[in-house]
Amino acid sequence: MWIKICGMTTRAGVEAAIAAGVDAIGFVFAPSKRRVTALAASHLAHGVTGKVLRVAVMQHPSQALVDEVLAQFKPDVLQTDYEDLPNLQLPSELSVLPVLRAGRVIADLPKRILFEGPVSGTGEKADWNRAAALAKQTQLILAGGLNAANVADAIAKVQPFGVDVSSGVECTTGVKDAEKIVEFVSRVRNANSPLPNPPPRRGRGAGTRNS
C-alpha cells in the first residue's frame, strides 16, 4: 500500500519517514502551522531524490507561488484541490495529485485522487463511507484523521490505494515523531498483508494433508 507522510518541517522527520519505507513525503505550501518556504523544503529534502517522492502540497495557490516552488523545490508531484488545476499552468512532465474534499462531487474522476476532510492538517477524520464508494471507482489515497490506532480499520473499511498521515504521527504540532511514523507504517503494512495460509490439518493416518 502506498504511504505518504505529510507536513514535513524537520530533517529528522524526513529521515525517519525514509527509514520507515514510506513512498512519499509532503511539504506544505498552503496556509498552515506546517507551512515551509520553497527554499526550506529544498534543504529539507536534499539528497532524497530517488528514495521517496517529494510532494508539494498546496490549496488554491497563485501561479506565482507554483512557479516559485517548481523552480526552487522541483517537486515530483503537485498536490492541490481538484478545482485549482484548470487555472494553473503546469509543465506536462509534472505529476499531479488532485484533492477531493468531503462533500464535493466530481463528474469524471481522475485516475488517482487524494480524499480529504474539509480542512487539511486538523486531525479530523474523513468520511470513510464516501471514501469507500469512491475507492471502487479510482485509486483513492485516504487522508484525514488517520493514526496508528485507526489506520487498520480505515483500510478494512475503505480499501484505498494508499494512505496519507500528518498530525497522527506528530509529537507536537508540525514536528514528526520517529516512533509514531514506524508504528503507523507497520500497522499499514500488516493491515495490507495477505492472510496466512491455514496450518496443515493432521489426518487419521500417519501422514498429513493440506486442507
pLDDT tens digits for range 46-89: 999 899 999 999 999 999 999 999 999 999 999 999 999 999 99
pLDDT reading at 45 higher than 70:
yes
pLDDT of residue 102 exceeding 80:
no
Provide the residue range defining the domain that includes 178: 2-192
Structural contact between residues 17 and 5, judged by C-beta atoms closer than 8 angstroms: yes
Q: What is the CATH number of the domain that holds 143?
A: 3.20.20.70
What does the pLDDT look like over 162-184, one tens digit per residue? Answer: 999 999 999 999 999 999 999 99
Cα(72)–Cα(80) distance, integer angstroms = 18
Query: Which of 133, 21, 4 is CA-nearest to residue 56?
Result: 4
DSSP 8-state symbol, 167:
G
Domain assignment present for residue 184? The answer is yes
Domain-located, residue 206: no
In 3D space, the residue among 44, 28, 187, 38 whose CA is nearest the CA of residue 119 turns out to be: 28
Residue 105: the pLDDT is 77
* 208 domain-assigned: no
Picking from 78, 162, 167, the residue whose alpha carbon sits closest to that of residue 121 is 167
- Does a structural domain hold residue 211? no
Instruction: Place 123 in a pLDDT band, splitting at 50, 70 and 90.
Output: low
- Does 115 map to a domain? yes
Total number of domains constituting the chain: 1
Round to whole Å and give the CA distance between 169 and 211: 42
Least reliable range by pLDDT among 41-50, 109-118, 132-141, 149-158: 109-118
Asked if pLDDT for residue 200 goes beyond 60, the answer is: no
Residue 203 counted as domain residue:
no
pLDDT of residue 119: 67
Confidence of residue 194 (pLDDT cuts 50, 70, 90): low
Interstrand relation of 175-176 and 53-57 (parallel, antiparallel or unpaired): unpaired
At residue 124 the predicted structure's pLDDT band, cuts being 50, 70 and 90, is confident
